Amino acid sequence: MDFTENYAHMLDEQDVLASYRKEFYIKKDGIYLDGNSLGLLSKRAEQALLDLLESWKLYGIDGWTEGKNPWFYLSETLGKELAPIVGAAPEEVIVTGSTTTNLHQLVSTFYKPIGKKTKILADELNFPSDIYALQSQLMQKGYDPEKHLVRVASGDGQTLREEDIIAAMSDDIALIVLPAVLYRSGQILDMELLAKEAHKRGITIGFDLCHSIGAIPHELSAWDIDFAFWCNYKHLNGGPGATGGLFVNKRHFGMKPGLAGWFSSRKDKQFDMEHVLTPAEDAGAYQIGTPNVLSMAPLIGSLSMFNEAGMGKIREKSLKLTGYMIDLIVHELDGHGLVLRNPLDVQKRGGHIYLEHPEAARICKALKAEGIIPDFRAPNGIRLAPVALYNTFEEVWKAVQVLKTIMVEEKYKQYENKRGVVA
């Protein structure tokens, strides 16, 4: 392989998605590699937010039903835009809530302990918020999380084996909640296989798509996933705290939401003000409260780019970027103590690179001082996410050269090996 900067330039010249970079606000003389935590602002997202503010200015309360994007239907409108990105029917997707509130909603709806089927199956590598929610849901139903939350162990501390997950699908499991992509190692789980095996055993299964949506293609309907939930501010660039999303397989339509509220209602019945809920007949039933309109607005612009470009091309470039970064790291940084923890199999690798080093916190601080924005994960992890819509191969090349200089010259030693308040 050619490890020169000229080779990076050649790859950029061949990039069919290169024009989308101009759509984003990119800091001059900086390289942003933290899109797996918070995606950058696009001009389309900015304009969509300004348009929603204008509709508030022009229409006041009539903005709920007037203007280009009436607020009353915006959750459903954006659900239709998200549907092809997750491989679902339009009515199966809704933009609502946040990752954790949506998980609470879905577990409240689908966790139905009966007889000896009382346990929830998760994994020991999952993001803490999901575990907190599952523990909370068990306690709400009077179960001890220590006994009733089963967590599949990792053999290497970085990845999970599907066969171990399947082996844990015992006859006392009522519900399974797993990540589609592991937030540290970036491993992709075989969702189709796991859903098939869960259903053989009469177990409902759902997935957290926070680190997969917008980075890899999904076929939630075809894979017969029961439910899924996610945030929209990472790869989908919806902005800090952007309203989240959820998927419910149409097989389950008609099931009453576990947490009912104002916006669980069927649209034509909502303003009848009855004290008996008539739930929506699609994924809209799993909304709870009034939608956060201004937190949804940027998605109008952002999702338009994803549906223009197509997840196939986005995934193809993402794999090229991460593969190129891996090759450069192996070539340039051998002997400097950085351990690559991603699966090398392209079918198993998500949209970011994960490195470990005992001095990871101070290495991240040194990278930031040089204009490279990484992501630190305690206790010793460095995540680097070259994003298909706005990062270039030249940026990947430059970032690795900067990292090499930091390691060779031990520049990181001038910083404290301690994370910031937000890492």
Residue 418 lies in a domain: no
pLDDT tens-digit profile of 256-311? 999 999 999 999 999 999 999 999 999 999 999 999 999 999 999 999 999 999 99
User: Does 314 lie in the same domain as 303?
Assistant: no
Q: Does 127 appear as a known binding residue?
A: yes
pLDDT at 337: 96
Beta bridge partners of 265: 279
Predicted pLDDT of residue 321: 98
Dump pLDDT digits (tens) for 324-336. 999 999 999 999 9
pLDDT over 90 at 421, yes or no: no
pLDDT of amino acid 420? 82
- The count of structural domains within the chain is 2
Q: Is residue 132 part of a domain?
A: yes
Residue 406 β-bridge partners: none
- Among candidate residues 265, 289, 308, the one where a domain is terminated: 308
Within this chain, do residues 212 and 265 fall inside the same structural domain, yes or no? yes
Say which residues have a Cβ less than 8 Å from residue 223's Cβ, sequence separation at least 6: 87, 191, 192, 195
The residue from 278, 308, 338 where one domain ends is 308
pLDDT bin (cut points 50, 70, 90) of residue 206 is very high
Known binder of ligand: residue 233?
yes
Render pLDDT for 346-399 as a digit per residue (tens, 0 to 9): 999 999 999 999 999 999 999 999 999 999 999 999 999 999 999 999 999 999
Residue 29 assigned to a binding site: no
User: What confidence tier does 419 reach under pLDDT thresholds 50, 70, 90?
Assistant: confident
CATH number assigned to the domain comprising residue 333: 3.90.1150.10
Q: Please tell me the distance from the alpha carbon of residue 308 to that of residue 38, in angstroms, as a whole number.
A: 21
Among 286, 308, 330, give the residue marking a domain's end: 308
The CATH number assigned to the domain holding 268 equals 3.40.640.10
Instruction: Please tell me the distance from the alpha carbon of residue 15 to that of residue 382, in angstroms, as a whole number.
Output: 27
Rounded mean pLDDT of 49-70?
Answer: 97
Q: Are residues 9 and 116 in the same domain?
A: no
Q: Do the annotations mark residue 208 as ligand-binding?
A: yes
pLDDT for the residue 1: 80
pLDDT digits (tens, 9 = 90+) for 158-174: 999 999 999 999 999 99
290 a known binding residue?
yes
Helix (H) or strand (E) holding 173: strand 173-179
In three-state form (DSSP H/G/I as H, E/B as E, the rest C), the secondary structure along the chain is CCCCHHHHHHHHHCCCCHHHHHHECCCCCCEECECCCCCCCEHHHHHHHHHHHHHHHHHHHHHHCCCCCCHHHHHHHHHHHHHHHHCCCHHHEEECCCHHHHHHHHHHHHCCCECCECEEEEECCCCHHHHHHHHHHHHHCCCCHHHHEEEECCCCCCCCCHHHHHHCCCCCEEEEEEECECCCCCEECCHHHHHHHHHHCCCEEEEECCCCCCCCCCCCCCCCCCEEEECCCCCCCCCCCCCCEEEECHHHCCCCCCCCCHHHECCCCHHHCCCCCCECCCHHHHCCCCCCHHHHHHHHHHHHHHHHHCHHHHHHHHHHHHHHHHHHHHHHCCCCCCEECCCCCCCCECCCEEEECCCHHHHHHHHHHCCEECEEECCCEEEEECCCCCCCHHHHHHHHHHHHHHHHCCHHHHCCCCCCCCC
Query: Is residue 129 part of an annotated ligand binding site?
Result: yes
Please indicate, yes or no, whether residues 187 and 331 belong to a single structural domain of this protein.
Answer: no
* Cis, bond preceding 90 (omega within 30 deg of 0): no
Q: What confidence tens digit (pLDDT) does each residue in 73-95 have?
A: 999 999 999 999 999 999 999 99
| 90-117 pLDDT, tens digit each | 999 999 999 999 999 999 999 999 999 9
Same domain, 253 and 184: yes
100 is in an annotated binding site: yes
**Residue 113, marked binder:** no
For residues 155 and 258, membership in a common domain is answered with: yes
Whether residue 376 is annotated as binding a ligand: the answer is no
Residue 211 pLDDT > 90, yes or no? yes
Considering the domain architecture, whether residues 187 and 304 belong to the same structural domain is answered as yes
Name residues whose C-beta falls within 8 Å of residue 370's C-beta, 6 or more positions apart in sequence: 402, 406
Phi then psi for residue 246, to 5 deg, are -150, 160
Whether residue 38 is contained in a domain is answered as no
Domain that holds residue 194: 47-308
- Residue 39 counted as domain residue: no
- Compute the average pLDDT of residues 133-141: 98
Any binding-site annotation on 223?
no
Do 187 and 73 fall into the same domain? yes
Mean pLDDT of the chain: 97
